[in-house]
Amino acid sequence: MLNPVELFPEIRNLYDFPSVHADMLFDTARVSAYRDAIKEVIKPGAVVADLGSGTGLLTFMCLQQGAARVHAIERSDVISWAQELAHRNGFESKITFHKCDARDVVLTERVDVIVSELMGHLAFEEGMAETISAAKEKILKPHGVSIPSSVVLRSSLVSQREIFQNCIDIWRDVEGVDFSPIRQKALNCAYVTDISFKDLLSEPQTLCEWNFSTGVDDIAKKVRFQPWRDGEANGVALWFDAALTSSIRLSSGPWSKTHWQQCFIPFSKPLQLAAGNSIEIEISIGFQRRQGVPFSFSLTVV
């Protein structure tokens, strides 16, 4: 079972650090994709809910595009930063701020558009699927629209020798002390890194796809990977592909440059594979269906 804390640290005041927001705000691929989606979807007079609004950029972009008002919903204290920015930029009269989990928000109206950027490195570990699905049922008009409209988690066999050598096999002898028991703990983590397309050993497979139209159920499935060339697979790479609208995509795949990078999940030992000889991997994903229940992800080579 992977430890998602490696991906989303449980630091109580994590969002008090400007550098955390800088990674997102100055990610040009992320911001430009959302800007284009908002331009396409938001019509003058629209009422919008921004789930996990953070410093408020998506809220402000919706107002710039003509939204009549926005409900900015954010559970962390960074909401005060957004309020300060709204005042500084003249947006405050059109924004209602709600300091709460988006799943608990109570509005006096339904909205035309839900916009949200709650995607984590594994797409779903920050509660995106549960939050958007619940909000669509609770606060979105019958023919309303959500940005994103769907998100897919993809994976491929990979040869990532640097991480495997420096984070897994490094756990041996330290000053004459046997540290090898730590290796198993290191295997139970996912590592955020840059993975190039040339490191992939197989055609990407879909592990999970969510269009937020139904409730959230945990996933358990077997996925078959077929190497397209001979090589040594020491783990899998994971990334997401998000459809913000029918025509605008945002990907954290190996061919893109975003702050999400890609995730590397190691095998217990490298596998020598020949092109065309497939292997099967069991995947299980446990969603945050209610508060206090952590996201979980496990992977086993069959």
Query: What is the rounded average pLDDT of the residues 34-51?
Result: 98
**Which residue, 74, 93, 117, sits at the end of a domain?**
117
CATH number of the domain at 248, please: 2.70.160.11
| Averaged pLDDT score across all residues of the chain | 91
**Which residue, 101, 117, 133, sits at the end of a domain?**
117
Query: What is the rounded average pLDDT of the residues 22-48?
Result: 97
Share of residues in the chain with pLDDT > 70 (%): 94
Cβ neighbour number for residue 285 with a 10 Å cutoff: 23
Say whether both 175 and 112 belong to one domain. no
User: What's the Cα-to-Cα distance from 142 to each of 27, 45, 49, 111, 184, rounded to whole Å?
Assistant: 33, 17, 15, 9, 49
In-domain check, residue 253:
yes
pTM of the complete model: 0.92
Say whether both 218 and 292 belong to one domain. yes
Question: What is the band of 1 on the pLDDT scale with cuts at 50, 70, 90?
Answer: very low
- pLDDT tens digit string along 174-229? 999 999 999 999 998 889 999 999 999 999 999 988 888 777 788 899 999 999 99
- pLDDT tens digit string along 220-257? 999 999 999 999 999 999 999 999 999 999 999 999 99
Give the largest Cα separation in the chain, rounded. Answer: 69
3-class DSSP string for 112-128: EEEEECCCECCECCCCH
Domain boundaries, position 290: 152-301
Q: What is the pLDDT of residue 4?
A: 47
Strand partners, 46: none
Q: What is the pLDDT of residue 5?
A: 45
Question: What is the band of 291 on the pLDDT scale with cuts at 50, 70, 90?
Answer: low
Burial class (CB in 10 A: 0-12, 13-18, 19+), 217: exposed
- DSSP for 16-58 reads G-HHHHHHHHT-HHHHHHHHHHHHHH--TT-EEEEET-TTSHH
Question: What is the band of 12 on the pLDDT scale with cuts at 50, 70, 90?
Answer: low
Say whether both 195 and 269 belong to one domain. yes
Say whether both 281 and 219 belong to one domain. yes
- pLDDT tens digit string along 101-139? 999 999 999 999 999 999 988 888 888 888 999 999 999
Q: What are phi and psi of 228, to 5 degrees?
A: -95, 0
